[in-house]
Amino acid sequence: MRSRSNSGVRLDYYARLVNSTILCHQNTVTGLLPASPEQQDAWVRDNVYSILAVWGLGMAYRKNADRDEDKAKAYELEQSVVKLMRGLLHCMMRQINKVENFKHSQSTHDALHAKYNNGTCATVVGDDQWGHLQIDATSIFLLFLAQMTASGLHIIFTLDEVNFIQNLVFYVEVAYKVADYGMWERGDKTNMGIPELNASSVGMAKAALEALDELDLFGARGGPKSVIHVLADEVQLCQSILHSMLPRASTSKEIDAGLLSIISYPAFAVEKIELVELTKQEIITKLQGRYGCCRFLRDGYKTPKEDPGRLYYEPAELKFFENLECEWPLFWTYMILDGLFNKNMQQVEEYREALDGILVKQEGGIRLIPELYSVPADKIDEECENPHTVNRTPMGKLPHMWGQSLYILGCLVAEGFLAAGEIDPLNRRFATVPRPDVVVQVAIVAETVEIKEALGKHGIQAQTVTDVYPIRVQPARILSRIYARLGRNKRMMLSGRPYRHMGVLGTSKLYFVRDEIFAFTPQFIDKQEFYLALDNQMVVEMLRTELSYLCRCWRKTGRPTVTFPISQSMIIDDETNIDPNVLSTLRKLQDGYFGGARVQTGNLSSLLVTSCCTHLSFMELGPDGKTFADWLDSHRAIEKVEQLHEFQLLDPDASLYLPSSLLSFSQPLLNPTAASAGRLKTNEEIPFIIEPKYLPDVASSEIDCNALVEQLKTCSNLQEQFELIHIIYQVKGIDWDTNMTENPSTTVRDLLIELYTKAGIAHQWGLIRYISGMLRKKIEELDEACTTLLSNQKHLTVGLPPEPRERTISAPLPLNELTKLIEAASEQNPSLAILTQEIVVYLAMYIRTEPNLFAEMFRFRIGLIIQVMATELANCLNCTGEAATEHLISMKPFDLKTLLHHILSGKEFSVEEINVRHSTRKHISIHDLDHTGATKSDRAGIRKLKIQMKQTGSITAQHEMDETHKQASHQMPHVAETLIHVPLEGSDFVDARHGQWLRRRRIDGALNRVPIGFYRRVWNILQKCQGLAFEGSILRSSTTEEMTPGEIKFAVQVETFLNSVPHPEYRQLLVETILVLTMLADADVQIIGEIIRVDRIAHMANNLFIEDQTALGADDIMLEKDIATGICKLLYDSAPSGRFGSMTYLLKAVVIYVDEFLPGTGCAMQ
């Protein structure tokens, strides 16, 4: 008989350890593991982690088999793993209705349960009796289902089970926007049942989605029907949100040791190595002790001060748990595995040695990991005074099966029985390895032969849809409908994936359905959506953004391929020339570099070889054996597909256009210019309504609407048509039948829809926006944009301040509910409602592409941002608030987005109003300014030449314009609020420094922007006083008893306090005041008063400033005070530093205010 090798003996030891600590508890019927002998419920997360040691030991026996018995033992262990995983699968499939409901509701009441009966797989508590919604628990099951399947285990048996797993993918793919209870089942750390967005859940969901993508659940025996499909855009959203959160764990937890599971084994969800190291160091620095790591700061679980009689904590009670948090050895097992995967043997040895010192030893060499170590009740004071010095005692479960399993798994790898890659067969450990540069392929497709010929004249090679055959080109909405069929199963009553817009990562692949190949145009080009796609410059800008996004985020094998259609709307000058913006973009694309992206253009057929391709096997056969391709005509140009019979790929009423013309049409003459001269008051509320000119009193019941309809038939001017329809709309409503045609039902709505279409063709943006508001149109991706902002830990307010008119959005809402909230906050003003939607979408675009713009900003006040945008226009153009609002509403979407970007970035810019030849409309042009106040064209000396070219034609018209400008100048004197004035003639350079600091304070106040580290400083100052106050609002020091300085929850609390200030520049001055106050936190001052009146300090500084300026000879006009706040306008416009800077006077005021609390010797404020 062959003797047992040393490795075999050692493996037998680990087999005894696994059997005595884990497998002895496995239920013989269900295969599930109870939490402990005393607690027989089976938790999903704990079960998956606990079986990993069994899985690893089985692979180790198979790899190091000395004899046949070892192979038999390996098979036995592997089947124990399969039995447990299938037991969990059965538990979830018993709640299949919850999976279906959750896809649409994302409600905590529709969540899969977190724990089940160990013997029956039944639920053990009610839906509302536990924090069941734990995305990370479902995700860890899916992740290891993928890993174990890849390792050779056969866990999924039928196609019904495959469909269920596909629907679990839909369940977890929304993790980036769903607040759950997290891996500790508590949600908010007060344990009051408040769910929150958890980085651990988002990261684990991302890992599960990536692991399952294109995985055959039947393994080597499977086929196309057993393959799981995951949308790359959902994975990328999870990654973006995860990167934006780390190293924070959630709103109420500034750090959590559970993040070790996503920055390292098993998830490896973070791709930035510097972010991985930062998060790891935060955990070590803030949470590590002598016996392991705390879960999170101020964790009261099983501490001697916790009241075991209740589940929740009082907010002020959390302070008592500081430095008493229990330490969990579990997290050192993660650190051992992390060191093994990173080949950091020093880290492995350090943590194995430390862990060996705290294991509980039993007979036979059995070593157990306790759940946690707690401070003895009689050593509380000693530990609080000298943290990490008291000897702690083990408490809780022994062994802690989760920790025991990871300990054994780490030992197997550390001792060479397994390679690190064998417990990660899908190679997730390479997530941080840099990827090669991405080349984006762009195929230019012309809508018609005429457009193809027009492009050819400019040297642009393009194909029509007919030319690209057999590849079929379809809009993105078709792809969304296709994926809505994924995972459908009538027997199980699973409806498949909810209809959602397709992102650019999804539309940049080519798709095979049987023998057909499909290419899809990007979502932003779909003209059946909102009016943004009607602006060619906006389309070009979105293309640039999407190409840059593809370069950064593409992770697939093969190159991304963007199909860019050139449509009729991109043709100008009587349909003979290409729009200059589009033409310029096409030429840059052909040059091979555009918007920071490497680009290769070509025909679709030639790009096919290097493209990323996906087989949509689930779409091969439809009803009656018909294929999806049977319903598509590839020989026609790109156009609206109204219905595809049984497949129902489009909503029947998706079209925005009427089949026949109801109104006459001519060159539009809309002219939204300033009504009267004057100046904008600093705190004047910007009006948000376009008043149609020359309208009679619609309140009168004597208006003959039928006569107006007859007048409408002969009217050929868009503006006049709108005015007439607007009267009828106000008197009769939107559904009144006008009887304008032989058609039995031609309602006001029909007329507005056609007018909207014609305004879109004529690019009358003011009309487009106002009609959109009247029709209550919705930007289709509005809810997704709002969710993107919220998922990045940004709150939103809509409507104009103050409350209750201003409404706060702190959780994702369905589209209809969201638009109703915006309409209510806009007080039924259609222009404000539409602008609000636009701004939310633009903010979401920027937070995805330029997240650095939003540093230290936790709340977007959309109404205030719109108000500041109008104020900027008013100041730059020297016009009234009403005229500035009309300009704002009439701006092209691209120009509006550019104006928002300038405000967000803090760049200096100028706004110029330019007359357009042969039109009464004026174009708003935005220019960047350098530090001298000059634009790029100024420095090039071509400003005057451009103006002369645009104004050639009529000398009389020029003379009249000059006269008008002179009259306006007399009626509108230069004031402090005028930030930048760009004359049409005169000097080439403009001094923009006057009003610069007022503008910065106004913009920063509107954006809620604060200095870096501001919230930590506020937390420190609250430790030395009873609170900060402004008029009726108080930020009490008791908030620091619940919240730690790095919590987003605390930052939001401070924001709420500051937002009680309605005027942005005054709010920013108070921020500066608080910043000066926080300097006292670093001084040797124990207390600086009770409630500190911040506004009183600001007014004291204001009085000191006025005294100094008066002594220097300033008159009352120069020292004019703002009526609303009482602050001198010149102080608002003062730089922070310098002899007469605002900080100088704020420092003096603070010293005077807190003088009685300062030390008697030395200068504490120096």
**Distance between CA atoms of residues 688 and 867, nearest Å:** 9
Dmax (CA) for the chain in angstroms is 114
Mean pLDDT, rounded, for 252-281: 96
574 has a pLDDT exceeding 90: no
Specify whether the CB–CB gap between 754 and 658 falls below 8 A.
yes
Please tell me which residue, 847 or 266, carries the higher pLDDT value. Answer: 266
Per-residue pLDDT band for 529 (boundaries 50, 70, 90) equals low
The pLDDT value given to residue 200: 97
Q: What is the pLDDT of residues 406-455, one digit of tens each?
A: 999 999 999 999 999 999 999 999 999 998 899 999 999 998 899 999 99
Please tell me which residue, 963 or 312, carries the higher pLDDT value. Answer: 312
Q: Report the percentage of the chain scoring pLDDT > 90.
A: 49
Long-range contacts of 215-221 (CB under 8 A, 24+ apart): 215/146, 215/149, 215/150, 217/145, 217/149, 217/155, 217/156, 217/161, 217/162, 217/165, 218/154, 218/156, 218/162, 219/149, 219/152, 219/154, 221/154
Per-residue pLDDT band for 941 (boundaries 50, 70, 90) equals very low
Per-residue pLDDT band for 4 (boundaries 50, 70, 90) equals low
Specify whether the CB–CB gap between 276 and 264 falls below 8 A.
yes
Q: What is the pLDDT of residues 483-512, one digit of tens each?
A: 999 999 999 999 989 988 889 999 999 999
Alpha helices (H) along 983-1063:
996-1006, 1014-1022, 1039-1042, 1048-1058
Cis bond upstream, residue 560 (ω within 30): no
The pLDDT value given to residue 779: 83
The pLDDT value given to residue 528: 56
Top-confidence range, 558-567, 730-739, 856-865? 558-567
The pLDDT value given to residue 575: 64
Per-residue CA distances from 113 to 45, 99, 563 (Å) = 11, 11, 43
Q: What is the pLDDT of residues 709-745, one digit of tens each?
A: 888 888 888 888 888 888 888 888 888 888 877 666 7
Per-residue CA distances from 1151 to 1088, 1097, 1158, 1159, 1163 (Å) = 11, 10, 8, 11, 10
How many CA atoms are closer than 13 Å to the CA of 932, on its beta-carbon side?
A: 8
Dihedral of alpha carbons 1126, 1132, 1134, 1136, sign: positive
Mean pLDDT, rounded, for 245-258: 94
Q: Which of 2-6, 265-269, 323-327, 830-834 has the lowest mean pLDDT?
A: 2-6
Q: Which of 575-579, 694-698, 1050-1054, 1149-1153 has the lowest mean pLDDT?
A: 694-698
Kindly give the pairing relationship between strand 367-368 and strand 360-361: antiparallel
Q: Which of 275-284, 809-818, 985-994 has the lowest mean pLDDT?
A: 985-994
The pLDDT value given to residue 920: 52
Specify whether the CB–CB gap between 507 and 561 falls below 8 A.
no
> What letter would DSSP give residue 327?
B
**Distance between CA atoms of residues 264 and 286, nearest Å:** 18
Taking phi first (over 0 means left), then psi (-120 to 50 degrees means alpha), and beta for anything else, what does residue 193 get?
left
Per-residue pLDDT band for 951 (boundaries 50, 70, 90) equals very low
624 has a pLDDT exceeding 50: no
611 has a pLDDT exceeding 70: yes
| Average pLDDT over the chain, rounded to an integer | 83
664 has a pLDDT exceeding 50: no
Q: Which of 241-245, 647-651, 859-863, 885-889 has the lowest mean pLDDT?
A: 647-651
942 has a pLDDT exceeding 50: no
SS (H, E, C) 25-38: HCCCCCCCCCCCCC
Per-residue pLDDT band for 380 (boundaries 50, 70, 90) equals very high
1160 has a pLDDT exceeding 70: no
The pLDDT value given to residue 934: 52
Dihedral of alpha carbons 37, 41, 45, 47, sign: positive
Mean pLDDT, rounded, for 1103-1123: 90
Cβ contacts of 534 within 8 Å, gap of 6 or more: 527, 569, 760, 763, 768
34 has a pLDDT exceeding 60: yes
Mean pLDDT, rounded, for 46-73: 92
**Distance between CA atoms of residues 480 and 497, nearest Å:** 9
Supply the pTM of this predicted model.
Answer: 0.85
Mean pLDDT, rounded, for 737-759: 83
Distance linking the first and last C-alpha atoms of the chain: 86
The pLDDT value given to residue 677: 31
Per-residue pLDDT band for 881 (boundaries 50, 70, 90) equals confident
What's the one-letter identity of residue 291?
A: Y
> What letter would DSSP give residue 86?
H
**Distance between CA atoms of residues 252 and 235, nearest Å:** 25
The pLDDT value given to residue 979: 26
Specify whether the CB–CB gap between 1006 and 868 falls below 8 A.
yes
Please tell me which residue, 953 or 625, carries the higher pLDDT value. Answer: 625
Task: Give the rounded distance of the alpha carbon of 642 from its chain centre.
Answer: 32
User: How long a stretch of residues is the chain?
Assistant: 1166
The pLDDT value given to residue 196: 93
The pLDDT value given to residue 744: 67
1022 has a pLDDT exceeding 80: yes
State the DSSP H helix or E strand holding residue 1078, giving kind and residue range, or none if neither.
helix 1064-1078
**Distance between CA atoms of residues 169 and 184, nearest Å:** 22
Please tell me which residue, 700 or 549, carries the higher pLDDT value. Answer: 549
* Rg, C-alpha atoms of the chain: 33
User: For residue 563, what are the β-bridge partners?
Assistant: 443
Top-confidence range, 645-659, 666-680, 872-886, 1043-1057? 1043-1057
Mean pLDDT, rounded, for 780-793: 85
The pLDDT value given to residue 155: 97
Q: Which of 86-90, 486-490, 689-693, 900-904 has the lowest mean pLDDT?
A: 689-693
Mean pLDDT, rounded, for 1038-1061: 90
Closest CA to 524 of 541, 549, 500, 499: 541
SS (H, E, C) 924-981: EEEEEECCCCCEHHHHHCCHHHHHHHHCCCCHHHHHHHHHHHHHHHHHCCCCCCCCCC
Per-residue pLDDT band for 706 (boundaries 50, 70, 90) equals confident
The pLDDT value given to residue 276: 97
Q: How many helices (H) and strands (E) does the chain have?
A: 41, 25
Cβ contacts of 818 within 8 Å, gap of 6 or more: 782, 783, 786, 809
The pLDDT value given to residue 939: 44
Mean pLDDT, rounded, for 1020-1038: 89
Q: What is the pLDDT of residues 227-239, one digit of tens each?
A: 999 999 999 999 9
Q: Which of 74-83, 474-483, 506-515, 709-718 has the lowest mean pLDDT?
A: 709-718
936 has a pLDDT exceeding 80: no
953 has a pLDDT exceeding 60: no
Please tell me which residue, 409 or 1138, carries the higher pLDDT value. Answer: 409
The pLDDT value given to residue 656: 23
Q: Report the percentage of the chain scoring pLDDT > 70.
A: 84
User: For residue 293, what are the β-bridge partners?
Assistant: 288, 328
The full DSSP string for 368-397 is E--SEEE--GGGHHHHHHSTT-SPPEEES-
